[in-house]
Structure 1
Amino acid sequence: MSAEAEPRSGCPINAAIEVFGDRWSLLVLRDIVFGDRRYFRELQAGSMEGIASNILADRLKRLVESGLLTREDTRPGQRARYSLTEPAIQLVPVFAQLGSWGLRHRPTSHSLRVRAELLEEGGPELWQEFMDELRREHLGVESAKSAPSVRERLNEAYFAAIKSS
């Protein structure tokens, strides 16, 4: 939905769904947030769900238009880098809650559920730490750095789960 489009209603849930409620938008954001994929080719190659290039291009454009991503201006032949905006960073608790729901109510694989489990166990304190980390990486905001980073801890658990599978 472009920034100028009229929403179907004034309902806050509808307003959110109109921005990222389609089949792919949250998955694209997920891959940028958790996978640190910032370029088109990285997003397409790393898509576990197999997103088509035309769909990815459309979703990236929509996410930029809706203010959830920024696209770095590039010269011809250069790769454009995408960055999260503050509203997108604030989706971390939503991702954590969606993951928790999925753990309880949907079939999942061991290796892909470990990040959701860690986010659930870490709760709001870990979510805030991760959002601060994303602000440093995507917005250049200075803050106290945690070591190791939340993403490193999530990825460590993910790769350990893959090895044990």
Structure 2
Amino acid sequence: MSTNNYIPREPLVIDCNIEKTLHVIGGKWAFLVLRELFGGTRRFGELQRLIPAVSPRALTSTLRHLEEQGVLERHVFPTVPVTVQYSLTPKGEDLHQMIKEMKLWAAKWT
């Protein structure tokens, strides 16, 4: 009879601010959504037209994630049909400089 001496260990958790930032920013479409919102408040349909490759489902998911992270605010107006607008919070506005620097890096190196 063989004995197994393997003891599972807890995964190593690294408290990394860059990793935290990437989690807040979110997935594939977040940078494009942020880029459009840096220009001001947008409606859902406007964002869809400005980012034609994103599906409505992916856009909704991205907007919800950014809202949960406190990066943008969703404003609902009681019109028929309902009007929904998205705008950046101060936390979201703070991302602008970082993303501009990433754009400059990409222009230089890619």
TM-score tier, shorter chain, comes to: 0.7 to 0.9
Q: 2:97 aligns with which of 93, 108, 116?
A: 93
Show structure 2 runs of 5+ residues with no match.
1-12
Partner of 1:131: none
What CA distance in whole angstroms lies between the structure 2 residues aligned with 1:9 and 1:53? 35
What CA distance in whole angstroms lies between the structure 2 residues aligned with 1:37 and 1:74? 14
What CA distance in whole angstroms lies between the structure 2 residues aligned with 1:92 and 1:28? 12
Which is richer in helix? 1
CA contact (8 A) 2:33 2:47 kept: yes
Structure 1 runs (4+) greater than 3 angstroms displaced:
none
CA contact (8 A) 1:9 1:15 kept: no
Partner of 1:82: 86
What CA distance in whole angstroms lies between the structure 2 residues aligned with 1:78 and 1:21? 27
CA contact (8 A) 1:44 1:51 kept: yes
CA contact (8 A) 2:48 2:56 kept: yes
Whose relative contact order is higher, 1 or 2, with alpha carbons under 8 Å and at least 6 apart? 2
How many equivalent residue pairs? 97
Work out which of the two has the higher radius of gyration on C-alpha atoms and give 1 or 2: 2
Secondary structure, in 3 states, of the residue corresponding to 2:42? Answer: coil
Describe how 1:138-149 pairs up with structure 2 within 5 A. none
Superposition TM-score, scaled by structure 1 size: 0.54
Partner of 1:33: 38
Superposition TM-score, scaled by structure 2 size: 0.79
Q: 2:64 aligns with which of 58, 61, 65?
A: 61
Per-residue deviation, 1:73: 2.8
Per-residue deviation, 1:10: 2.3
1:52 aligns with 2:55: yes
Identity %: 28
CA contact (8 A) 2:43 2:84 kept: yes
